[in-house]
Amino acid sequence: MSMNKYLDVSPEVAGALAAGKPVVALESTIISHGMPYPQNVETALAVENIIRENGAVPATIAVIGGRLKAGCTKEEVEYLGRTGTAVTKASRRDLAMLCARGQDGATTVTTTMIIAHMAGIKVFATGGIGGVHRGAETTMDISADLEELAHTPVMVVCAGAKSILDLGLTLEYLETHGVPVLGYGTKELPAFYTRHSGFAVDYQVDTPEELAAAFKASLELGFEGGMLVTNPIPEEYSMDPKVINAAIDEALAQAKASGIHGKETTPFLLAKVKELTGGDSLDSNIQLVFNNARLAAQTAACLAK
């Protein structure tokens, strides 16, 4: 475990790692940018509880006052939730500046993976990953999450990628970079709010034991990259693909008309989709995060054995 001079590992997380107990990393962009206060804080703490109930220790990751935090206190989670979008959404390119300036950052999939790996945490649960944006052949708008998955050996459990993205190109990009995409109990890439996308994953895996064995083999082979586990949203919370896709198409048209691009794109699209679906998308979002936290904790427990 490399102890970086900018890294603070909470006593609970440090103790668990030293004892070889399972730990699951959690991101903080979902707290600051993902949902409104106080739902964001309630959800974050509920996710931590689900991880504990499934036998692992949660480590919510963030940057606070220029310190990389592996394991946030309740007060820190509350602070991120209250401060909301005023907190910098921190990708890899932002970390050095935030540390140098002593500023705060909410971690994306990318930066959560970086800090988790620094701390020695192997499994990370999130909502969805970023990917290749629609129209990327002209805009080159590709999430840094995909590049991080290629280089950082952390297993990421998600509900697939949001269908605001180009899912086919996202899978192509991951394949080019050698990132295995596993479907939990499915041969098909889940599309975040819905269980189906029409695109095939690399492998179907049916138990946490199998997931742990696959990641253990990857680590023992000395591969530098991570592994992506796509866990479909539970059936009862899955949204009607027609409804969600119509909302996404409308949101994309509005984003284009308003000249929104770069890192503003995803928050804008998600807010629009939430507005257009009457808040159903937020409920679905919360449930799929809970579902991913359960699977990540069970997998981390198997990995620790």
The residues that are catalytic are: 27, 162
Q: Say if residues 116 and 149 touch (Cβ distance below 8 Å).
A: no
278 has a pLDDT exceeding 90: no
Q: How do 67-70 and 57-64 pair as beta strands?
A: antiparallel
Give the integer Cα–Cα distance in Å for 227 and 152. 9
Q: Say if residues 195 and 238 touch (Cβ distance below 8 Å).
A: yes
268 has a pLDDT exceeding 90: no
Sign of CA dihedral 190, 90, 84, 69: positive
The predicted pLDDT at position 63 comes to 98
Tens digit of each residue's pLDDT (9 = 90 or more) over 104-115: 999 999 999 999
286 has a pLDDT exceeding 70: yes
Sketch out the chain's domains with CATH numbers: 7-235+288-304 (3.40.1790.10)
Q: What is the pTM (predicted TM-score) of this model?
A: 0.93
When pLDDT is cut at 50, 70 and 90, the band that residue 1 belongs to is: very low
**Sole residue written with tokens 């699951």:** 24
**Sole residue written with tokens 């964001």:** 40
When pLDDT is cut at 50, 70 and 90, the band that residue 3 belongs to is: low
35 has a pLDDT exceeding 90: no
Amino acid at 255: A
Q: Say if residues 289 and 128 touch (Cβ distance below 8 Å).
A: no
Amino acid at 10: S
Please state, rounded to an integer, the average pLDDT across all residues of the chain. 94
The predicted pLDDT at position 128 comes to 93
Tens digit of each residue's pLDDT (9 = 90 or more) over 184-220: 999 999 999 999 999 999 999 999 999 999 999 999 9
Alpha helices in the chain (DSSP H): 11-18, 29, 39-53, 74-83, 92-101, 109-119, 136-139, 144-151, 167-176, 208-220, 241-257, 265-276, 280-304
The predicted pLDDT at position 271 comes to 82
